[in-house]
Every structure is written in C-alpha cells, then in structure tokens.
Amino acid sequence: MSKHALLTTLRRIVLPVAMTMVSLTAFAQQIDMSLDKVSVRRAMEYLQREYGYSISVRSDEVDIDRIVTVKVTNASLNEVLDRIFTGQDVEYAVNGKSVSVRARKAAPKPAVQTRVVHGKILDEDSEPLAGASVIEKGTTNGTVADENGNYSIELTTEAPVLLFSFFGFADEEIAVGKSDELDVRMTAQSLSLDDVVVVGYGSMTRRDITSAIGSFTPKPAERREVLSVDQLLQGRVAGVNISTASGIPGSVGRVSIRGIGSLNAGNEPLYVIDGIPLTTTSGDTGAWTVSSESMSGLASINPSDIESVEVLKDAASAAIYGSRATNGVIIITTKSGRKGAPTVSVDASVSMGNQPRTDKLELASGDLLIEAFNEGIDNYNRQYGENMERFINPMPGKPAYDWLGTVLRTAWSHNLSMSISGGTDNINYYVSGTYKHQEGTAVGNDMNQYSFKANISGKVKKWLSYGVNTMLAYNKNDRVGSGYSGLGVIKAAVEQYPWDEPFLPSGEWATSKNVLVNNNPLQSVMESDIWIKTYRAISSAYLEFHIIPGLNFKTNLGEDFQSIEEHVYMSSKHQSAYPSEDNPMGGKLIDSRANRGSLLWDNTLNYDKSFGFGLNLGAMLGHSVQIYESSSATQTGLGFPSSSFDVNAVAASFTDVSSSKSAYALQSFFGRVNLNYLNRYVATLMMRTDGSSKFAPEHRWGFFPSASLGWNMDEENWWKNKDITLKLRASVGVTGNQGGIGAYDYQALASGGVNYGGQNGLGLTTAGNRDLKWETATQTDVGVDVSFWKGALSATVDLFNKDTDNLLYGKPTMITTGYTTQVSNIGAMNNKGIEFSLAANAGKNEFRWHADFNISFVRNRLTKLLDDEEIIPVGSFHALKVGEEVGSFYMIKMLGIYQSDDEVPEYLYENEGVRAGDVIYDDYNHDGKIDANDRQFVGSANPKFSGGFNNTFSWKGLELSVFFTYSYGQKIFEYWSGGLRMGQGTWPQLKTACENRWTGPWTTNTWPRFMYGHGWNSTKFVNTRMLHDASYLRLRTLTLSYNFPVKLLNKAKINALRVYLQADNLFVVTKWPYLDPEVSVSNNAVTYGYDWLNPGQPRTFTLGLNIKF
C-alpha cells in the first residue's frame, strides 16, 4: 500500500501534515479513555469524537495501524498521546484543539529565504476553517489555521506551492505569486466518504453507510429564494421527484421519493426536523379549500436555517422510522454553532417576479370570437335546419381587454435574515431571525414570514451534555382564489368576453349579474379579505449522559405546536356574499381556527466499542412515544353593516358553527447495530416496532426490520489503484405506513351531530374494519459508490425494488352496504428504479468547475387489487388496475378529426349529430357507440425519468451557477376546458382555439370545428383532447455572484461579502400548451396530474448580498 494513497483515504482523521515543532503547551482538559487493543487510528478517532480534537498525523512516518491499549482516567492530552504512541518516536504539536503528530526528526535546515505568506482559510459559506492545514509542497514545512481561519507560513523553497487540506473538503494546491497574502476558499466535497451523514437517531460517516441516503447541503450558490424545504430540494437528489407548488406562495408541492409509496393521500415522506418527526405538514384549516389551493405547513421552516438535508430512500435507512417511513424520510438538520469567535451573518435580498407564459392563455379578440361563434351557429343551423340568430359583435374592432393584466402584477419580494453563531469549549450556539415578504404574481396575494431560531448545545460536566433547538415562526398569508374554483383569479380572468371590462362606466363593478358572462376576478379579490395566520413552534431539548467511554444515554423531549387562524371575509359586494333573503345586509365571514400539537419523548442508549482485531461495534437501543392532538373550531357569520367590520361579533346571524377534536398516538421500540471490520466490511442491522392507535388492538403492532451490508473494496490490501475508491452496498428492509387513513377508521362508529329540528341525533357513520392492518413495503437496494482521481469525479448508482403490500385504500363499495367506500387493505404494488448521480470537480487555483448531475428512472405497477380483474375508476379520469401504473389516466382517446362526413360511422351520424370537423374517438370496445365503456388507459402523470443538473464555475471571486431540472414522460390533463369548448355554450374562447379550429377538410387534425350547442367535442366525454405531454426542461436558477477579496474586506473588519444576482425559472422548454407543466390541483397519488389554471411558478430575478463579520 503506497503511503500516499493511505493519506487520501484516511483524511478524515489523518491529515498529511508536517510542520515545524512547537513545544507542547499545558492543556487543561482531563481525558478518560479505556480502549482495549484498538488501532492507533481508532484511539485518535475516539479523541476526536469525544473531546473534539482535530488531529493530523503524518501517516507516512507514524504507524497508525499499530494495536495499542490505553486505559487512563483524568489524564492530560500529553499523557494520552504518550500512551497511544507508545513505542513510536513521535513529536506532537498542539494549537488549541488542533493536534499534529509526526516522527521525531532533526529540525529541517533553515531556509535561505525568509518570506512569510499569510491569509485566511474559509469554506464556501465564508466561515473560517479552524484547523485546516497548510503545507509547503515538497517539504515538511507546514502549519495549521487558527480559530479565525488565519494562517501564516514561512516559505523555504524557490517556487513555492502551498497545499491546503481539511477533512471533508477538496484539497487545494496553489502556487504562491507575488503577493504575500493568499486567501483560500475550500470546497466541500460532495459524496465524500468522510462526510458526516445524519441518520435516524444518530449520524455516521458515509464510509459506514450501507444504505441509500441522499444528501443535500445547500451551498451559497445553490440557495434559492424559496419558502420551503421541498422547493430547495427540487432536482438535487436522485430518486426524489418534486413538483413545485403553483405560483401561489405557500401552496403545497408534491414530493415523492422512489415513486408512489401508497394509494392513499399519505404519500408524503416523513419530515424529521432536528430529531422531531413532523405530524402535520398542512398549513390551513380547510375553511377555504373550495376556492383555493391547500397551504403547506412546511413554509414555517425557514430554508436559510437549514444546514443539510438527508433523504433516507431505501428501507434499510428509513426503517429506523418504521411505520412512517414507507414514503422515505427527509431529515432536516438546522445550523449549529462551531467553536470559534462569534460570526455575524446578514443576508438581504430583493426580488421581482412575474407570471411567464401568459401568452398561452390569450383570449380571442372580439372580432375573431364572433367570427368563430357565428361559424358555430351556421354549422348548427345547416345541420339541424334551424334558424338560430347569429351573434353580433357589440364593439367591432375593439382590441381584447387585458383581463389577465388586471389580476396579475409584478411581484416584489424581499428578505432579511441575520444569524450569530459561535462557540467555546463548553457551549455552541446559533441564533437567527428572518423577515421575509413574498408577493404572489396575482394581485392581493402575499406572504409575510417572521421566524426565529436558536440552537444551543454544550457540556455541563464531563459526563453530561445538553442541547436545545427552538424554532418559532409566524406567517401571514394573504390569499386569492386559485385552484379548482370558479373564483380562481386566472380562470375567471380568461373567461371574459374580450370587449368587457372590470368596471362599468359608473365606476361600479361589472358583474355576472349585469354585463359579464362570468365572475369578475378583480371584484372577488378586492371585495374580500382572506388570510391565514400561522404560529408554529418546533423545539426539542435533550440531555446526554456519557456513562462510560463509549456508552451514552440520551433523552430527548420534543414538541411541534401549530396554531392557525383562518379568516375568510367577503363583503356584500363579493359574488359569494351578495345580500339575499336570508342575509339582507350581505357579507360573510368564515372564522376558522385549528390547533395541532404533538409531543415526543425519545430515549436512546448508544454504545460504541472498538475491538483490537479491527472490529468496530456501534449499537443503539431506543424507545419513543409521540402523541398527536388536534382541535378545530369554525363559525360563519352572515350580515355585516359595512366592510369595516370584520369580526363575527357584529354578524347578524350565524351558520356552520362547529368544532372538532382528534388524536392519535404512536409508541415505538427500536434498535440498531453497526459493524465495521477494518473499514472493509460494514454492516447495519435495524429493528423497529410501532404500535398505532389507528388499528384495532389485535393489529396494532407492526415490525420493521432491516439489514444492509457494504464492502469498501478500496480498503482491501490487494486494491492497487488508490486514486479510485469503490464501495458496494446491498440492503433489504421493511417499512410501514399508516398515513392517509383516519384516526378511527377501524372502529364502527355511530356519530353525533346528525341532528334534526334542533334535536340531537345519531347516525351510523362508518362501518369500520377491524381487519385493517399496517401497509408494509419491502425494499431491496443495491448500490455502488465510486470515485476517481482522488474524488475529482464521483458517482453513485442505486437499483431498487420496492414491493408494497396490504395497500390501505378507501375501497369503493356498493352503496347497498351503506357506504361508498371502506378503508381496507386492498392490494399490492411494485416500484422499481435506477438512480444515478455524478459529481465532478475540476480546475485549479483561480478557475474552478463543479458539476452535479442526477437522474432517476422509476416504474410503478399495481400488482394486486381485490380480485385482480377489476378496473376501479377514481375521480373523473383516473383508474386503478393491476398491471397499470398508479395514477394512470383512464379516459376516451381522441384519434383525430373527421375530415369528411363519409368517415363518420352511421350510428354516430344519426344519433350524436357527428359530422366532418368533429373529434374521432377510439371505439375501444367496437360496439359502434362512444360511451364510458370505451375508456382506456392513456398514460400517467408520473415521469419516466426526472432529475437535475448543476454547473458552477468560479473564477477568482466570481461564481456562476446554472441549475436545470427536468422531467420526462408525464402527462397533465387540462381539466379547465371553458376556453376550449369550440362554440358549445357561449364561453369566451382562447385565441388558439379560434385560430386553429377546423374549417374544412385537412385544415387540422387536432382541433375540432366550432359548432353551437354540441357537447361531442368538449364536455360530453372526458377525453385525451385535453391531455398533453408535460415533459419539461426548466432553467431552475441562474446565479451570478461575486465574493469580495478578503484583503479588501479586512480593512473594514468584514470577514466576507458576497453579492449575487439570481434568475429563477428563466425558461421552461415544454410541449404543455398552458401555463406551467408542474402544477396539479390534487397531490393525491391516485388522481394526480390535472390543472385548473392554477397560477404557474413565477419568473423571478433576485439581487442579494451576504455579509459576515
């Protein structure tokens, strides 16, 4: 084994440092160590882990595989090192907590030159890297950076080259130029074997990981101005497919890890924030879901406080969260302080956004619309021999009024956040505060967010440490109608006649009661005051007892409280609250409150032991109990004397007054054993058992075991090329799911509130199902991690197969049973896929290039469903069937357009009035008719493959980062079809519909003719005319930033200053003909993939700066 290679592979603890000797200073810390027959390396790892030393060893001079026994109590560092290096002639250099070890030699000859170079070593976030080493290449001359990252080195050679290194970061080799000042910004190495990876109830280095875990540590260049963590994660991790929420700030996105986890709505991964599994990701009370999109509770978690995100993808890693891990686990770790002087960091940005692609929804002008309508009337009159009057253009020649322009705007947003972090030997802290104002592109839609964070950890005694993580957030979200609603701002704006305007000449609202054909969108925004206030506190506090070396007990108390106030006020001039018989004053206020809280208590016992023959053992045992409770209350007041009153105290009458309560609890026992033999063979075994109150006592407990193995081939003695590392992994495990079903679904219930005439009544509300049991998924995963050229290029490939059994689903039942659905375990499905990610680093000195690429292919199939024959249609255009993908579209297929009457089958000609210019539907069952029996599977809204790629170029302080996301093979159904009805009814039509209409043989084979009152082409059947390919390639972000030179800043006592310009969603390449190919009304896996003119994601330009001092 070459010594050089050893250095690279053991960089975690063994830094290639040689340095001038410094006499060992007395050091106060008392050390306990009881290690029996371990390698020198293990002993040093122990010092590093337990006492926080950063240790460098010149491993070409010192034998680190030597087996030693060290048993000391209350010893000084010097004594401990003496024991560890017994029998080796070494010297130590100690600088604070940095220790370097080398063979004792004669001091090198003093150099002729006495030039001194100094500077600062920083990470990408401009945080100082205390303990980073600097060596003059080709010599033994070296030094270590102090706690502010400063170093100073006396040069000894003619053309000096300095080598900088730090664990977890790529090495830097820089030739010293004329200047005596040399600052270095080191790049964290992604997919590095030395990365610390957070796993459930602990952390491991990537070397010891044997399962599929994706990590994302947002670097400055990769940050986006987003509201929630799911948006941050989009396109960053292979196997994690995220469809961003719509352009309404705070709306819910879709996150799916390794395909579809479940048939139920419970398809979201489990989010664990600093050890607390979130029990709710909802951000609203449901009071206004009829008119708007659901809001996400994740928006309460400030993305700028996030240090890293780990995604537990396979069962072997996720099984530690047992029952809630089927859809994967997203572990969010927030920032914590590092030892060193306090660092103050201030981020400020301002951005401007607008709604792109609005040209796709351009309305037909009055003249065009009337021409098309009248063609429809003529066609109707001709076909039926009628004499219907033609339309007359009320304002010929008038250009179309810009309705979209009245409800859309340029959205201005700004963001200010500040954090202070630092630490001493006994305490580390990170505190931050953020204010964010984000406007939506629709008028009246914005979100204000205030959040505070404090993470503090420290040591009380040698045997006791503690920590507190606290997050407080307050959001106010001013909402407008969107989503599946007649009051959606965009929908209502494109359902207007082009000659109409929002105001009458008198200044009154134009309404559907006077001149308009549909709701006035501006009126509904301006005559309402609709908001949600969310208060959220997520905190945890732990005590950790270091019982004996290697044995620790940790008890952790956590909470997640959320309080929501939802206010939906509509004045008497709002369409939904006009004065009426029972509400003579008009006006309406829905006042809805919800409180959701969960309490968590975790206890874990950890044991680590190194055995002399090279085996390392880690074991963990734990118990956890989490109780979730929610309550809500809502009341609707009617009748408000004027719009200046907006509390229900003044309401004339009330309706819909109710309150509710719900609770569930989860109790778990779990354990994990990690084995590592000579770093070559690693294994992890896990077991978790969960009991859930959602199941009957006899089915309450679920068992979730997993096992995984890894082989670090490059650690083998026969491995020759040490520039290449290679690891093989294999895992199998079981996870469970209980999400998406009600808290009491197993119980047959008689519910109250079924009242009549003011008398209490009961109803038999659910049949219950005592046979309900856990949905379980068995997942196997095989993976390879490989890196070349000392990590300059690294790649990870994973293959997985996931079989989900006992799928929980509201099975449709005959209504003669009393109910339309019964929650049951109805079937099984399979997801299999391949994930591939690649990271590359190139360039030297001033020019750097870093690239990340990931792609994942997932194939989902339903493998078992009731009696396997059935097709279960879901909603209006989806169905479930064995062999098909979950979420498949099931509808009548359009084949083209009849170009002549002769082509029309006789039955359709006679009975349906079909003629040339009408849509040809596929008569799937060949019975001559077109009806529900002709529905077929026509694709799905899930991509065949998706991913992202990022390129970051830096030159001196300039950095350019280009990040794309893509998704291929999914389809989206345009459920809104008002503007595409081609003359059926009198709906205003889109310009494209009018311009492209069929006007004679072979004018088009995709758009039908205009025909008055003819449902065949639009509303009669749900058909593929509205189903489009929604594959896309999006330039997610383009960021240009500049880091000011440190030497300039030092004069102003500033550590770092970065300014950046970021463009988000600059363009999207897609065949989707409307606003945004990513939006969907529903995130339910079974009915996913339809649009209702939700506002699309904005195109945003941000100017920001980050300053540290």
Partner 1 sequence: MKRILYIVLMSAALLAGGTSCDVLDQYPHNAVSRDHLSSDDLELLFIGLYNYAQYKPTFNGYFQNDMGGGDFTRGGASSVASVQQWIQDCMLPTSGWSSNAWIGYYAWLYQVNEFIYAASTVEQTDRVREMLGVAYYFRGLIYYNLTSKYGNVQILRQATNDPVANSPAADCWAFVEENLEDAIAMCPQFSSKNYVSVQAAKALMARAKLGQGKKEEAAVLAEEVIADPAFDLADFDQIFRGEANSEEIFTYINDAEENGICFAAQFYQPATTYVPTQDVINLFATIDKRRSISIMEDGDETVLNKYNNLTSTNPIIVSRLAEMYLISAEGKGLSGGGLERLNQLRNKRGLPNVSPKSEDEFLDAILAERRLEFLGEGFRWFDLVRTRKLQETLGMEEKYNIFPIPQTQIDLNPNLKQNDLWK
- Type and span of the H or E element at 376: helix 366-384
Q: Which stretch binds partner 1 (CB under 8 A): 80-88, 321-329, 507-515, 1075-1083?
A: 507-515
Amino acid at 446: D
- Binding of partner 1 by 924 (CB under 8 A): no
Considering only the stretches 66-74, 88-96, 598-606, 954-962, report the one whose residues sit in contact with partner 1 under the rule CB under 8 A.
598-606
Closest to partner 1 by CB, 336 vs 381, is 381
Binding to partner 1, residues 216-275 (CB under 8 A): none
| CA distances in angstroms from 530 to 199, 210, 444, 658, listed in the order given | 41, 49, 9, 20
- Confirm or reject binding of residue 555 to partner 1 (CB under 8 A): yes
**String of DSSP letters for 342-360:** EEEEEEEEEEEEE-TTGGG
How far is CA 147 from its chain centroid?
34
Q: How far apart are CA 114 and CA 109, in angstroms?
A: 12
Q: How far is the CB of 608 from partner 1 (least distance, A)?
A: 16
List Cα–Cα distances, 697 to 694, 700, 771, in angstroms. Answer: 9, 5, 10
Q: Of residues 26, 107, 392, 815, which one binds partner 1 by CB under 8 A?
A: 815
Given the complex with partner 1, which of 202 and 873 has the nearer CB atom?
A: 873
User: Of 1048-1077, which residues contact partner 1 (CB under 8 A)?
Assistant: none
Shortest approach of partner 1 to residue 871 CB, angstroms?
8
Q: Which is nearer to partner 1, 88 or 595 (CB)?
A: 595
Q: CB 377 → partner 1: shortest distance, Å?
A: 10
Handedness of CA 738, 740, 742, 747 (dihedral sign): negative
In whole angstroms, the minimum distance from the beta carbon of 1073 to partner 1 comes to 22
Q: Is residue 759 involved in binding partner 1 (CB under 8 A)?
A: yes
Binding to partner 1 by residue 813, rule CB under 8 A? yes
> Binding residue for partner 1 (CB under 8 A) from 158, 359, 581, 902?
581
Q: Which is nearer to partner 1, 74 or 816 (CB)?
A: 816
State which of positions 515-554 bind partner 1 (CB under 8 A).
517-519, 545, 547, 553
The correct pick among 308, 747, 951, 1003 for binding partner 1 (CB under 8 A) is 747
Q: Name beta bridge partners: 653.
A: 638
Nearer to partner 1, 256 or 598 (CB): 598
The reply on whether position 756 binds partner 1 by CB under 8 A is: yes
CB count within 10 Å of CB 656 equals: 12
What residues from 300 to 359 belong to the interface with partner 1 (CB under 8 A)? none
Contacts of 694 (CB under 8 A, 6+ apart): 664, 738, 741, 742, 743, 744, 745, 746, 772
Q: Which of residues 930-969 bind partner 1 (CB under 8 A)?
A: 931-932
Distances (CA, A) of 1018 to 364, 973, 1013, 1021: 18, 13, 10, 7
Contact flag: residue 605 with partner 1 (CB under 8 A): yes
- Residue 157 binding partner 1, by CB under 8 A: no
- In order of 593, 630, 706, the CA distances from 285 in angstroms are 7, 11, 38
Structure tokens at 297: 């509770």
Residue type, 624: S
Residue number, 365 or 630, with CB nearest to partner 1: 630
Q: Does 1019 bind partner 1 (CB under 8 A)?
A: yes
Asked whether position 818 contacts partner 1 by CB under 8 A, the answer is: yes
Q: Please state, in angstroms and rounded to a whole number, the distance separating the CA atoms of residues 782 and 779.
A: 10
Toward partner 1, which CB reaches closer, 289 or 813? 813
Binding-site size for partner 1 (CB under 8 A) equals 98
| Residue 791 DSSP code | G
Contact call for residue 873 and partner 1 (CB under 8 A)? yes
Q: Strand pairing partners for 162? A: 136, 174
**What's the min distance (Å) between Cβ of 1012 and partner 1?**
6
Q: Which is nearer to partner 1, 459 or 623 (CB)?
A: 623
Among 120, 878, 1014, 1058, binds partner 1 (CB under 8 A): 1014
Q: Is 652 in the site for partner 1 (CB under 8 A)?
A: no
Closest among 1077, 1102, 1062, 977 to 356, alpha carbons compared:
1077
We find the least distance from the C-beta atom of residue 584 to partner 1, in angstroms, to be 10
Q: Which stretch binds partner 1 (CB under 8 A): 101-109, 642-650, 707-715, 982-990?
A: 982-990
Contact between 875 and partner 1 per CB under 8 A: no
Residue 512 makes contact with partner 1 by CB under 8 A:
yes
Q: How far is the CB of 1091 from partner 1 (least distance, A)?
A: 20
Residues in the chain: 1109
**Binding positions for partner 1, 363-402, rule CB under 8 A:** 380, 388
Nearest distance from residue 550's CB to partner 1, in Å? 14
**460 interacts with partner 1 by CB under 8 A:** no
- CA–CA separation, 686 and 706 (whole Å): 5
Judged by CB under 8 A, does residue 870 bind partner 1? yes
> Beta-strand (E) ranges in 749-907?
749-751, 763-766, 775-788, 793-805, 808-812, 821-825, 827-842, 847-865, 872-874, 878-880, 888-891, 894-897
Q: Which parts of 1044-1073 are beta strand (E)?
A: 1056-1064, 1068-1070
* Smallest gap from residue 511 Cβ to partner 1 (A): 7
Site stretch for partner 1 (CB under 8 A), options 789-797, 824-832, 902-910, 1015-1023: 1015-1023
Burial class (CB in 10 A: 0-12, 13-18, 19+), 1058: buried
580 makes contact with partner 1 (CB under 8 A): yes
For residue 75, the cross-strand partners are: 31
Residue 806: which of 858, 747, 735, 742 has the closest Cα? 735
Minimum distance of partner 1 from residue 1034's CB (angstroms): 34
